[in-house]
């Protein structure tokens, strides 16, 4: 079975998606993108910044009383992450559609 080649842009987008997805594991992101966990791990070593957003983890009772401004910031971060995921999936779909043209 021939190995798949991915563009550098796809690799960097996958790494950015992992780094900007708090609470998501390498396995989850890799499965969502249709790649091997080890492949994503290698890309993280090569292209990763080592910085990972810490927001979105388990909430404490004190964080339940969030101000409107903080809630807006959280929603903007989530929208940004979802747009990034959407763009990566669009690129992946385009890549695989081109691959099937015989």
Among the listed residues 93, 78, 100, the one whose alpha carbon sits nearest the alpha carbon of residue 33: 93
In a domain, 60, yes or no: no
Domain enclosing residue 27, as ranges: 8-55+66-99
pLDDT tens readout for residues 56-69: 444 444 444 557 77
The owner of tokens 């779909």 is 93
CATH number of the domain that residue 36 is part of: 1.10.10
Mean pLDDT value across the chain? 81
Structure confidence at residue 96 (pLDDT): 85
Residue 82: band (very low, low, confident or very high) from pLDDT cuts 50, 70, 90: very high
pLDDT tens readout for residues 25-48: 899 889 888 899 999 999 999 988
What letter does residue 100 receive in the DSSP assignment? T
In a domain, 23, yes or no: yes
Structure confidence at residue 59 (pLDDT): 46
In a domain, 20, yes or no: yes
Q: How many domains does the chain have?
A: 1
pLDDT at 85 over 80: yes
In a domain, 95, yes or no: yes
């Amino acid at each position: 079975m021939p190995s798949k080649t991915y563009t550098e842009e796809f690799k960097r987008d996958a790494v950015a998606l992992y780094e900007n997805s708090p609470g998501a594991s390498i396995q989850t992101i890799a499965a969502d993108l249709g790649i091997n966990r080890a492949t994503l791990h290698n890309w993280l070593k090569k292209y990763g910044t080592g910085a990972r957003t810490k927001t979105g983890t388990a909430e404490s009772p004190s964080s339940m009383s969030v101000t409107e401004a903080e809630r807006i910031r959280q929603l903007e971060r989530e929208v940004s992450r979802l747009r990034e995921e959407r763009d990566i999936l669009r690129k992946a779909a385009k890549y695989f559609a081109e691959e099937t043209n015989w």
